[in-house]
């Protein structure tokens, strides 16, 4: 008889991993702590519960989230099958009735004869083969065990995310490349005059932020304060902090600007630029409005929005193998939001891959990861190659994906070409490694509302 696998966490990633393993013929013990022990955000004992929005975002494949879903469907995602059954009308987005969705996920898992669901808290690292997908609210006991394995800097409890902008949308007549005191020219700089700066600070001060819950209260560190907290301290605080202009000369004026927003390269291809020191709890609409006031960013596309919240995630690039295994334990794979991917579908996709790879490892095969021309492969490349000193979670976006070999100016056309190539490469990757879609589930839930 084959060795059974343990999957810890019955959330989006854990359910996908367990179903993938079970449908491949493996016995699975799925350990979920709810309702014995609850997280501060979950409200039910259902598997696959959505803790916040009921939307899985766009289905348009020229949209990064749409392409990720297409790759997941190609792999036979159970989450998307259940989402189709629980769909509510939401234009081009895939939105669901959250209760029908979670019931469908629970039924899909419970209907699988090879999955044995155990309701208990997993307090330590499992001894045998396992997928660990305990999410952003991993319990304290398991967190302590993970830290014992990976070191104190191997697991963070809060993220502090600065927005990322797409290189294509920057205004090159304003933004200039330079490092402070010319030590390097690796940064892009958005210069501000005094009136521009003061208007910006006033807008940040008045901007609406997320209130958050008590359990989500972030212990701010002085070196990593949200920009709105700095702005509230005094009009010059940001100018003496992340927006300091020291060592920078605007080539248009030959003078030092009053303040500067610096952008740091986030990827080797230079498609994604991180707004240095701009971690924030401003609401997304406010970020869009206020950050567009920054000279050079009026037409920028934001690939990732800033945020700061309670979020357990591993230092993947420093501590895990390409497939998400800790040192010396190739038969244990981390998956889901815990690995540093951000979002429902990103987490679920990572769970499918962990299921595929644990099955491969147990069959004596090497784990595999899709190429960086695909959305899932590009996300995984980010986890592997991001700077471990400032690793922060990432959602799917086109800036992660390997650029096209030719220059395409039209943004829509470019994204259609990227999506076309991603899908072709994803299918080729599956073919080379003999990966077939898992059989579709009959979760028994009916569709509600009109589909998009």
Number of CB atoms found within 10 A of residue 229's CB: 16
The single residue among 136, 226, 295, 340 that binds ligand FAD, judged by CB under 6 A, is 136
* Contact in structure between 337 and 347 (CB atoms under 8 Å): yes
Is residue 133 within the footprint of ligand FAD (CB under 6 A)? yes
SS (H, E, C) 222-263: HHHCCHHHHHHHCCCCHHHCCCCCCCCCECCCCECCCEEEEE
The single residue among 32, 250, 267, 425 that binds ligand FAD, judged by CB under 6 A, is 32
The single residue among 68, 90, 108, 122 that binds ligand FAD, judged by CB under 6 A, is 122
Chain centroid, CA 50 distance in Å = 15
The single residue among 10, 66, 207, 242 that binds ligand FAD, judged by CB under 6 A, is 10
Is residue 393 within the footprint of ligand FAD (CB under 6 A)? no
Is residue 352 within the footprint of ligand FAD (CB under 6 A)? no
Say how far apart CA 100 and CA 36 lie, in whole Å: 22
Is residue 26 within the footprint of ligand FAD (CB under 6 A)? no
Binding to ligand FAD by CB under 6 A, coded x per residue (else -) over 191-210, reads --------------------
Is residue 11 within the footprint of ligand FAD (CB under 6 A)? yes
**If you write DSSP's letter for every residue of 147-181 in order, what string do you get?**
HHHH-GGGEEEE--BPPEEEGGGS-TTT-EE--GG
Least Å distance, CB 119 to ligand FAD, is 9
Which residues, other chains included, contact 424 with Cβ-Cβ below 8 Å and sequence gap of 6+?
A: none
The single residue among 8, 204, 349, 368 that binds ligand FAD, judged by CB under 6 A, is 8
User: Which tokens is 316 given?
Assistant: 């993947």
Could you identify the residue written with the tokens 């291809």?
A: 269
Is residue 287 within the footprint of ligand FAD (CB under 6 A)? no
Is residue 280 within the footprint of ligand FAD (CB under 6 A)? no
Phi-psi region of 258 (alpha: psi -120 to 50; beta: other; left: phi over 0): alpha
Least Å distance, CB 350 to ligand FAD, is 8
User: Residues 319 to 338: which contact ligand FAD by CB under 6 A?
Assistant: 336-338
Is residue 269 within the footprint of ligand FAD (CB under 6 A)? no
Collapsing DSSP to helix, strand or coil, 213 comes out as: coil
Backbone angles phi, psi at 296, to 5 degrees: 100, -15
The single residue among 163, 343, 367, 399 that binds ligand FAD, judged by CB under 6 A, is 343
The single residue among 24, 126, 129, 135 that binds ligand FAD, judged by CB under 6 A, is 135
User: Which tokens is 335 given?
Assistant: 């998956």
- Name the residue among 324, 329, 389 with its Cα closest to residue 351: 324
The single residue among 6, 58, 67, 134 that binds ligand FAD, judged by CB under 6 A, is 134
User: Residues 44 to 83: which contact ligand FAD by CB under 6 A?
Assistant: 51-53
Least Å distance, CB 20 to ligand FAD, is 13
List residues binding ligand FAD (CB under 6 A): 8-14, 31-34, 39, 41-42, 51-53, 121-122, 133-139, 142, 336-338, 343-344, 347
């Amino acid at each position: 008889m084959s060795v059974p696998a343990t999957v810890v966490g019955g959330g989006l990633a854990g359910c996908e991993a367990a179903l993938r393993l079970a449908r491949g013929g493996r016995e699975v013990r799925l350990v979920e702590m709810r309702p014995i022990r609850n997280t501060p955000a979950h409200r039910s004992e259902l598997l696959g519960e959505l803790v916040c929005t009921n939307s899985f975002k766009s289905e348009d494949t020229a949209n990064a989230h749409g392409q990720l879903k297409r790759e997941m469907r190609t792999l036979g995602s159970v989450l998307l099958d259940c989402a189709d059954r629980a769909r509510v009308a939401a234009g081009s987005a895939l939105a669901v009735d959250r209760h029908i969705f979670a019931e469908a996920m629970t039924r899909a898992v419970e209907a699988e004869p090879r999955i044995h669901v155990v309701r208990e808290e997993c307090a330590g690292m499992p001894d045998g083969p396992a997928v660990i997908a305990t999410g952003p609210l991993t319990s304290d006991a398991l967190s302590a065990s993970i830290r014992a394995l990976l070191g104190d800097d191997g697991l963070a409890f809060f993220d502090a995310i600065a927005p990322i902008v797409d290189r294509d949308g920057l205004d090159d007549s304003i933004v200039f490349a330079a490092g402070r005191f010319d030590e390097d020219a690796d940064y892009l700089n958005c210069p501000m005059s005094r009136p521009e700066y003061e208007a910006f600070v006033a807008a940040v001060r008045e901007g609406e932020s997320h209130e958050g819950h008590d359990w989500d209260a972030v212990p701010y560190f002085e070196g990593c304060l949200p920009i709105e907290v700095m702005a509230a301290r005094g009009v010059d605080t940001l100018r003496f902090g992340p927006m300091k202009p020291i060592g920078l000369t605007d080539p248009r004026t030959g003078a030092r600007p009053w303040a500067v927003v610096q952008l740091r390269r986030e990827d080797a291809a230079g498609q994604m630029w991180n707004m240095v020191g701009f971690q924030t709890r401003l609401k997304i609409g406010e970020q869009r409005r206020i950050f567009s006031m920054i000279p050079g960013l009026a037409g920028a596309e934001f690939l990732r929005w800033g945020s700061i919240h309670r979020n357990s995630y591993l230092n993947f690039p420093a501590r895990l193998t390409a497939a998400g295994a800790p040192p010396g334990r190739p038969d244990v794979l981390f998956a889901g939001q815990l690995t540093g991917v951000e979002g429902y579908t990103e987490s679920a996709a990572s769970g499918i891959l962990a299921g595929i790879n644990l099955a491969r490892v147990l069959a004596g095969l090497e784990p595999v990861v899709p190429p960086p021309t695909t959305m899932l492969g590009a996300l995984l490349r980010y986890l592997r190659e991001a700077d471990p000193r400032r690793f922060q979670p990432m959602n799917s976006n086109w800036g992660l994906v390997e650029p096209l070999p030719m220059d395409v100016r039209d943004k829509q056309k470019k994204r259609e070409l990227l999506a076309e190539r991603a899908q072709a490469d994803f299918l080729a990757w599956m073919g080379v490694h003999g990966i077939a879609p898992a059989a579709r589930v009959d979760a028994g839930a009916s569709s509600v509302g009109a589909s998009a």
